[in-house]
């Protein structure tokens, strides 16, 4: 499977008004792609397109809601009518609720699933016909490390992200079976410093935050752009996420104990937040048209793990060195015993 260079691509970033989606759109445009951005917040989209065009890029926007399929399909159709074809679809739209499961209403739980999981499916349904017509392309969906390892206070969010991974795995196999030249990538960020936490509904009494260590959104955008040119099955964004997944694989019970003891406090700031404060669960809220959130003073701008994900040769060299070292240590241990 061969994907076009980014400078030759037409890219849709769905969920682009702020945070990871906005940073991703800016990076694609900076690399020469023609970009169509979509979200519910028109003010955020207008300012994003203005920023791209001010920097010499080419972009257009369409207001859309991930929950409504016809609205999502309109974005894909608009991209093709505006720029002639579609090469990459990045689905970043998401919402969340910070509350215990027993505090969560049926309507809230359903809404998170509809936006995050059903919305991602709508994006794929809208994009695939156009990716086929182009002769192939890339579909990248932002799930989360919580698609592998759940956190307390996020039962609905974790459910939606686990669902995304299952959906993408099934879709990927179907496309492989028919030989379709479409790459399907599951992007799994760790805790990312975006306005997401300013907009999420919370019943904690305080503003939520990503569990540390925290990374800036460029760490996620870097791997998304890599996947747009290099077919990639799944990729972690932020080494902490990969470490947590590996710990879960080694000993789920230890991760359960760790999450039960420290997971709640790790997601709480000291800033009071009224449960009735405006949030984006059911309606967009304006004023957050930026890439980063309120944690820039502690957020990491680089991830060695992410760098390795986008440098496969160096990754192979390091793996080889690690295996060689392990073999040497085992051999020495046997020699000493004998």
Domain CATH for 289: 3.40.50.720
As annotated, the active-site residues are 157
Q: Residue 48: what are its φ and ψ, rounded to 5°? A: -65, -50
* Per-residue b or e along 137-174, where b marks 16 or more CB atoms closer than 10 Å to that residue's CB: bbbbbbbbbbbbbbbbbbbbbbbbbbbbbebbeebbee
pLDDT for position 336:
58
Number of domains in the chain: 1
| Domain interval for residue 177 | 6-302
Q: What is the mean pLDDT of the chain?
A: 92
% the chain with pLDDT above 70: 91
330 falls within a domain: no
In this structure, of 162-166, 251-255, 269-273, the range with the lowest mean pLDDT score is 251-255
CA distances in angstroms from 337 to 16, 180, 334, listed in the order given: 60, 55, 5
Residue 208 has pLDDT above 90, yes or no: yes
Residue 326 has pLDDT above 60, yes or no: no
Nearest residue to 160 via CA among 97, 224, 254: 97
315 falls within a domain: no
241 falls within a domain: yes
45-50 long-range contacts (CB < 8 A, ≥24 apart) are 45/16, 45/17, 47/289, 48/16, 48/17, 48/22, 48/289
201 falls within a domain: yes
Distance CA 168, CA 199 (A): 27
Per residue in 298-314, pLDDT (tens digit) is 999 987 776 677 767 66
pLDDT for position 198:
95
Say which residues have a Cβ less than 8 Å from residue 322's Cβ, sequence separation at least 6: none
């Amino acid at each position: 499977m061969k994907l076009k260079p980014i400078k030759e691509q037409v890219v849709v970033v769905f969920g682009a008004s702020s945070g990871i989606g906005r940073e991703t759109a800016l990076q694609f445009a900076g690399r020469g792609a023609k970009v169509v951005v979509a979200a519910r917040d028109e003010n955020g989209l207008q300012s994003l397109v203005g920023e791209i065009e001010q920097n010499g890029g080419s972009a257009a926007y369409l207001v859309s809601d991930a929950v409504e399929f016809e609205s999502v399909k309109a974005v894909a159709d608009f991209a093709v009518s505006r720029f002639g074809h579609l090469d990459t679809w990045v689905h970043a739209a998401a919402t969340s609720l910070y509350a215990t499961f027993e505090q969560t209403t049926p309507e809230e739980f359903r809404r998170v699933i509809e936006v995050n999981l059903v919305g991602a499916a709508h994006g794929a349904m809208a994009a695939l016909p156009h990716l086929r017509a182009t002769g192939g392309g890339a579909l990248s969906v932002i799930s989360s490390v919580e698609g592998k390892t759940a956190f307390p206070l996020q039962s609905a969010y974790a459910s939606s992200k686990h669902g995304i991974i299952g959906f993408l795995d099934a879709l990927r196999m179907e496309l492989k079976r028919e030989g379709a030249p479409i790459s399907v990538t599951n992007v799994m960020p760790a805790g990312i410093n975006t306005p997401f936490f300013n907009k999420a509904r919370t019943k904690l009494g305080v503003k939520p935050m990503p569990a540390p260590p925290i990374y800036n959104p460029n760490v996620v955008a870097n791997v998304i752009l890599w996947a747009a040119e290099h077919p990639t099955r799944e990729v972690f964004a932020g080494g902490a996420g990969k470490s947590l997944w590996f710990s879960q694989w080694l000993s789920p019970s230890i991760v359960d104990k760790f999450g039960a003891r420290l997971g709640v406090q790790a997601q709480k700031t000291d800033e009071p937040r009224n449960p009735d404060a405006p949030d984006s669960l059911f309606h967009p809220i304006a004023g957050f048209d930026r890439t980063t959130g309120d944690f820039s003073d502690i957020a990491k701008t680089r991830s060695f793990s992410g760098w390795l994900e986008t440098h496969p040769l160096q990754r192979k060299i390091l793996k080889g060195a690690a295996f060689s070292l392990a073999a040497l240590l085992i051999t020495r241990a046997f020699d000493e015993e004998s």
